[in-house]
Structure 1
């Protein structure tokens, strides 16, 4: 049976923090792969600044050189708001020989009681909660917890830096920085 980590998010844009989380969880949990799953329209956030195809293209660039990373486009192909329960139900049916590990930040752990069909979702996936500055991982749900290097990098900060014409070098992989410049994203 394969063990696959799912790292969902808007990835607007993907940054070094996302890659560190995926890499650390992949190795610590002995996963076969980590699938980056961009949302089309996240249920808990406003819509993304970059369009879906740009966000997928940036993810494809950052995952291309790591054979353990893959881009999973189930949610962007579905269009509209996606809920984790619906997505994971579909993925389980499509990949019955796979155990899924859903990777979330400590901020999302606090919101688990509000997730759609959380009790059924807990039977479908193993949650892996990673630390995040300003949050603690306290939950009455069975969650594997992990410490990962804390990075004070966020997609919002990166977009703000681009708008202010500040450098984003080393905050995002070079391939993402080039893509943002070539496509004039976040200006």
Structure 2
């Protein structure tokens, strides 16, 4: 005859069902280099959605057709560490760097969810990326794994066949490519990115326009 569950078993079952799920935001990208726009988006989404944590997730290799060359993953990660060290809510997710190869969001998120089944992920995209979502690798499965969060961009399309939570953030027209061009041309990029990141760039002679730093 089957015995009734004991108090410990019932307590464990109750705690499992009522345990609060962790809510984590993710912003992926090359971060070549990380700049104030990335940090403002991360902080605003985290605060406005009341997330527990927010991860900046550097890609190892972009899967997009217009693949952009980046500097070494080591330098990009070091700059991200410097940029986030004064905000306890912001940290790094390095699974794509560790895995290497082409970074497909579906594979990354499937891996993270398997590793952290008690976490809900909010994946941030710029408004200019909405039109490209149908072309994303295994997008119909990906939308079952994450909640997309869209950041408004001037003139960007906000209609999508996929569920997106839209967030308003200050319009900051800063891009990593512009920063790289300005540094190569010896123009000022002060206030475009954190001072400690800019110091790292100068110290390590990144983006100086020579062949070494175009890799």
| TM range, smaller chain | over 0.9
**2:57: which partner in 1?**
37
C-alpha separation in 1, matches of 2:153 and 2:38: 12
Deviation (angstroms), 1:181 = 0.2
Say if 2:27 is the partner of 1:7: yes
**2:143: which partner in 1?**
122
TM-score between both structures, scaled by the size of structure 2: 0.85
What is the total number of aligned residue pairs between the two structures? 187
Say if 2:78 is the partner of 1:57: yes
Higher relative contact order (CA 8 A, sep 6+): 1
**2:177: which partner in 1?**
156
The question of whether the paired residues in 2 share the 8 Å contact of 1:85 and 1:121 is answered with yes
The question of whether the paired residues in 2 share the 8 Å contact of 1:153 and 1:171 is answered with yes
C-alpha separation in 2, matches of 1:16 and 1:169: 11
* Pairing 1:93-112 to 2, within 5 Å after superposition: 93-112=114-133
Q: Which runs of 5+ in 1 are unaligned?
A: none
Decide which moves more: 128-137 or 151-160.
Answer: 128-137
Q: CA RMSD in A?
A: 0.9
* Pairing 1:62-81 to 2, within 5 Å after superposition: 62-81=83-102
Q: Which has the larger radius of gyration?
A: 2
Structure 2 residue matching 1:76: 3-state secondary structure: helix
TM superposition outliers: structure 1 runs of 4+ over 3 Å: none
Structure 1 residue matching 2:80: 3-state secondary structure: helix
C-alpha separation in 1, matches of 2:154 and 2:97: 29
Say if 2:206 is the partner of 1:185: yes
TM-score between both structures, scaled by the size of structure 1: 0.97
The question of whether the paired residues in 1 share the 8 Å contact of 2:30 and 2:70 is answered with no
C-alpha separation in 1, matches of 2:204 and 2:75: 9
